[in-house]
Chain A
């Protein structure tokens, strides 16, 4: 078969009215859902059940068009009420003072900056999946990239709250920005906090652009489907007492958001170029943003903070924690949404488990190196930051936090050495939950245990969180989950266009059988040039 003169089968496939080629036949039993193939010569199918283009579109658009499961509305309402805690706590904080948190003159940062670094770190996985894996041409990313980027956006929103509210005078937070003012004073460009301002705002902007721009073709799909239903008269019923229904809202809303996308080739060329450009811009951001966040600590003189390993350690930790959080959200979605498993297959889970294992080992290595260098470097203060602040239960009051971190981050991902564990979604979810908690503890350990015992023992003081600390964090979790649930309902969960592009029938190369070994294809291979010349 040739792409210029496609045979009937291919023609139907390209038109989207027929399923894709059959799953590859493998030597032996297919494992799991059919994507866990032992033979390395065989590429696992990225989408199961031989979906055609039309089916992919129907399924993914169906998540927004059909009624969600019964679980969705209670979940959103619960998360929204938890998220409502956040403005209450913030209001109380801003009206009364930073003292409503448990901070003191020794431990000036605790939960506030822990939460900030936790959220901003969690967001990095999304950007890595979208940008770096795109540049590495890892096609399996298409199953997770949209949700992961969404998670990034929401995590950055939650992260950006904390530096804003943790300052003593929130109403002057605009001093941080280099805008002309009557005091004729610039902010201090030597300060890592200011670098944070630029890094995080750049990251938020670029991530938002990347996510939104990537969604435009899919939003246009949703728009066109709603529009077709309107034209054919099969639209959803009107709302009670209103002259329009949800399809009108969809057509209008998605129409505005898709900015006139016509699916023309010109649009597609520009889209691909812009996508690559944004991927290229986002790639260094993955490494630089969290490195700059780590500079908040690494450029200080505090023992336990002042180490050069922080930038790579934080970046690896961010990817580690971020992948865990993505899967913490998507594995339940696999169960709760129909046909989700066809797109997010066990192969995807396995690949991501391997990434979690690798980055987890990097993080474990960083922990051990920090400790080793503290000893090897002969700096008594730095060494005490480990022995006396963290490790030794006889000396360190926060030893439990350190060992919880070690267990959650270093020990639990080791189950992923075993294939059975990697491909078991329940195990994966449990490990992901541990890792997410462990990453919170990592930032807590770095910040609070280093600060509470500093250079001069006369000023050592413990930190205890208050209910406002806890409430603010819980509220931010609620906000994050609420936004993600709304995303699942109202925006395309998968990158439809990209997903279709990695289906085997989308491959432009006739000889390049993406997972199709032609076993069931009865049409013989044709040489297009010689065929055109008439030679048979």
Chain B
């Protein structure tokens, strides 16, 4: 490799067209490719030199400083959690072993009586500091113990009363297990295929308009982007809040709550004020800024190819003529799901088309949907997930996987602190770090012991919780990082036997160096 290394582009303003040049490395034109050269590309330039094998291996690649800028766009744009550990909650296995099954009864600070209990995951986050959502008004969306039928209301496993309108099945819910999630992102693709989600193209992704209904947020742990200490990822789709902030603010009632717990987006009523998306704390709502589904802005559309002429703005073509020319495009769509037009908001629907299909099937058998057997159908993301991290089904069905997963001490509602009451719970990730790499954190509720960093920083302090999370964490990470790192690095370089807790027992495993020594001394047994 010749020096210097390939040049990285400066971050370019997204709409700057000059930066979005197309880079081709056509065969034979290697000299025209400014950033990278590979001799294997110059297939036509004379006889093959040496004995470099064909096709898959090439030698002699060089990197040269290029000219110009090339814009790279990504949907996973932010790498830092910014100290917001209530979003991605993690715990180390020792902490989970110690406290995982505990349910802490939380007294209501206003009325004094014990109201709900918090599981392990919720104790780690900010929910522990919010007062119980009680109202003096009888609001069907906000059932309180003072409501008329409060005593007769069923309560979930944490003692929270289930609002009366959600007490008859089926009530759809989901859990996403972040311990088994590998961050592969196939849920995003499956959802895209199932729901006719348009591909918006590079220019629009640069502006932040990708249409993925479920996305995997990826964060690097640690302080240094170049040397991250770990990776955390979290798939997020619409969590179908029981107390949805989006429903309140839509001026035309285009997003409403149905009686099975789904937050229903009504495309034909939506006029596109986008307030729902502003108010969604999870930012899972996707707006059709252009007519993405028909690819009707700028070049590259099948319509242009069909007509044969570059059409500057295809909105000028009358709709019926457009439809005629787009027949083939229709074949790639899922006929069970509509295609959204320009100016409407869309979001995850818990695959309502699959729910409805399942309901029809059961109706043909004269079975009530509340008695739907668990696993009768699957959501698209659930179906595609290779590690089966997503459980989806009727949460009132005690035998369903999703009900079981919700009872798990690892389950928490993302941002439930603002009382959205999400139906999709995330299960926190339990890490089992090798003690040689770092010391596992086993006291997650005791703030102040910053022996370790990154995971499981929860506590049940009072008022300074939020403040310390926001302000101090950056600095704490920095200071601990320095001290810890030196220590563990030093330890790792020494020859030590590793102690692994295997099945509860500690087994002594020799290091590679031990084995080599034994081999060298002929003592291999």
Q: Residues on A close to B: CB < 8 A?
A: 95-99, 102-109, 166-170, 172-173, 175-176, 183, 185-188, 190-194, 197, 296, 299-302, 375, 378-381, 383-384, 387-388, 451, 454-462, 464, 466
Contacts and interface: CB of A to CB of B under 8 A. Distances in A.
A457 B84 contact: yes
A102 B289 CA distance: 10
B82 interface: yes
Interface stretch (B356-364, B462-470, B488-496): B462-470
Interface stretch (B56-64, B223-231, B277-285, B443-451): B277-285
B106 to A, nearest CB: 18
Contacts, number: 200
Contacts of B245: 300-301
Given A168-B274, A459-B283, A191 B251 contact: yes
The winner among A109, A192, A461 for most chain B CB atoms within 10 A is A461
B271 A458 contact: no
A459 B248 contact: no
A104 B269 CA distance: 21
Contacts of B286: 105
Nearest to A452: B208
A172 B13 CA distance: 33
Contacts of B273: 166-168, 193
A109 B272 CA distance: 11
Contact of B288 (A168, A176, A381, A457): A168
Contact of B250 (A98, A191, A381): A191
A188 B288 CA distance: 22
Given A96-B297, A457-B81, A185 B275 contact: no
B275 A191 contact: yes
B343 A98 contact: yes
Contacts of A107: 208
B342 A299 contact: no
B217 A301 contact: no
A107 B209 CA distance: 10
B283 A454 contact: yes
Interface in B61-110: 76-78, 80-84, 87
A191 B279 CA distance: 11
A353 B109 CA distance: 49
A104 B470 contact: no
A97 B342 contact: yes
Contacts of B204: 99
Nearest to A458: B217
Interface string B183-212: 000000000000000000000100111100
Contacts of B251: 176, 187-188, 191, 193-194, 197
3 tightest Cβ-Cβ pairs between the two chains A and B: A168-B272, A168-B343, A458-B217
B207 A380 contact: no
A464 B277 contact: no
Interface string B145-174: 000000000000000000000000000000
Contact of B15 (A302, A454, A456, A464): A464
Contacts of B269: 175, 183, 185
A170 B342 CA distance: 11
Nearest to B203: A99
Interface string B337-357: 000001111000000000000
Contact of A458 (B209, B215, B252, B275): B215
A457 B80 contact: yes
Given A190-B249, A194-B251, 20 more contacts: A96-B297, A97-B291, A99-B289, A99-B297, A102-B207, A104-B207, A105-B277, A105-B283, A191-B250, A192-B275, A296-B275, A378-B464, A380-B84, A380-B466, A454-B281, A455-B282, A455-B415, A456-B281, A458-B77, A458-B215
